[in-house]
Amino acid sequence: MKKTKMLIATLVCAVMLMGVGYAWWTDSITLGADVNAGHMNVIWDNAGWMPLYGGSAYVNATIDNETQKNIKFTFGNLYPGAMAFVDAVAKNESTIPVKMSGVTLNTTGNQELLDSIYTTGFYYRTNAQGQFINGSFGSIPYDSLANLDDNLYAAFQDVTLNVGDEIFFGVPEGYEGADYTAVDYDKDGNDDECIIFFVDPNAEEEIEDKDAEITLKFDWKQFNQW
């Protein structure tokens, strides 16, 4: 009987020890985290009073701004000395700061007409609260249309567009009427628009009844501070 009791006690101890060993074997600690990525989204802000567009007398201007990624302007009936303008705003709706990585200019159509177009204009930035960013007002050099992409990239390649920041192609309040170009591109005296397309007043009959298409593409990249 003593041997039987001793055997039972031994089995009970063995089972208890097995239970403790089992608990040690399956014990664990867990660190959990929910992870989600940000996004990049720089758009043309068409929800407000922008974009604006127009031109000299007799110039026909229309716009297609159905999407926020593209704005297409059509300027018809251009003539020597005529001008057309675009005021638009690009907004950083990303969750991260961005910088411009490139500007691409594509042109198709009548080359004589394209060679007769010059461009200039103005730009500035506002922050997420809609406040003017000091020192951001600048001008695009008066130059041939063919150089517009290089001139725009030179203006913005070092600019960081923080979340909610906007680039206005136009003139900020308080700067209206200032002459920031040596070229009198608007005979009506209004030099506040941007981007401005100006037809060479010395252009001749080769541009009559001609059509051309101008496309500007702005590419963006995330800005890493480190």
Collapsing DSSP to helix, strand or coil, 44 comes out as strand
- The number of residues in the chain equals 226
In a domain, 82, yes or no: yes
Mean pLDDT by 10 residues, the chain (226 residues): 46 45 64 84 84 91 87 92 91 94 92 94 93 92 94 94 93 66 42 78 92 92 78
Rounded to the nearest 5 degrees, what angle is found at the Cα of 217, between the Cα atoms of 215 and 221? 180
pTM to 2 decimal places = 0.79
Count of CB atoms situated within 10 Å of the CB of 211: 11
pLDDT at 64: 87
The residue range of the domain holding 60 is 42-204
Is residue 73 one of the residues assigned to a domain? yes
Q: Which residue in 114, 112, 136, 115 sits closest to 124, CA to CA?
A: 136
pLDDT of the residue at 189: 41
Q: Give domain status of residue 96, yes or no.
A: yes
225 within some domain: no
Instruction: With respect to residue 93, please indicate whether it lies within any of the assigned structural domains.
Output: yes
For CA atoms 181, 191, 139, 203, the dihedral sign is negative
> What's the total number of domains in the chain?
1
Specify if 152 maps to a domain.
yes
